[in-house]
Amino acid sequence: MSSAPISEAEARLALDSIDQRRQQVLAEINVPPLYWAAVAASWAAIGVLTDYGPAWAAVAATFLFGAVHSAVAPRVISGRRGSRLLSVRGELVSPRFPLIVIGFLVVMTAATVAIALLFNADGARHPAALAGGTVAVIVFVGGPALMAALRRTAERG
């Protein structure tokens, strides 16, 4: 069985097509947007509950959030399931991806405490709610921005 020689133009077209498909797959590296919305809403709710609810409810909500997050996070923060349409192979996603997401959330936790302390020092009546809402917005906007930066890194690699 002999094959006809491939011209340079045909080879370039084939390679361009492969690169385009690769870029489409890499574009799927993501954490589902619903994850960021749920984390942000939970963050704000815990802040409000801390200021307006009984202490036991704020503690219970924090533990509930931690339990639900620990059950859901391993599946969604891997970067492999950014949408329901496609699951990206593990070798395309950095193994550091989940560590970066968790690191971001740890930094946001520290920011929440710092912001609440600043609001409290300034005399705000509801510092936890204000801090929780502020950080919720940062998580809601910053989470997807972090994912975009990680996708750009994956595309370069």
Q: What are the pLDDT digits (tens) for 100-139? A: 999 999 999 999 999 999 999 999 999 999 999 999 999 9
Q: What is the pTM of this model?
A: 0.78
Can you give the pLDDT at residue 61?
A: 95
| Separation CA 22–CA 30 (nearest Å) | 15
| Separation CA 155–CA 157 (nearest Å) | 5
Q: Which two tokens stand for residue 23?
A: 């870029």
Burial of 18 (0-12, 13-18, 19+ CB in 10 A): exposed
Q: Which residue's structure tokens are 């094959």?
A: 3
Can you give the pLDDT at residue 3?
A: 73
Residue 85: CB atoms within 10 A of its CB come to 7
Q: Which two tokens stand for residue 27?
A: 């574009």
| Separation CA 115–CA 104 (nearest Å) | 16
pLDDT tens track for 80-95: 665 666 566 666 666 7
Q: Which two tokens stand for residue 157?
A: 């690699």
Q: List C-alpha distances in Å: 41 to 38, 93, 102, 139.
A: 5, 27, 17, 9
Q: Which residue's structure tokens are 């991806």?
A: 97
Could you tell me the residue ranges of all domains in the chain?
Answer: 8-156
Q: How many residues does the chain have?
A: 157
Q: What is the residue-averaged pLDDT of the chain?
A: 86
Q: List C-alpha distances in Å: 114 to 50, 59, 68, 110, 120.
A: 15, 19, 25, 6, 10
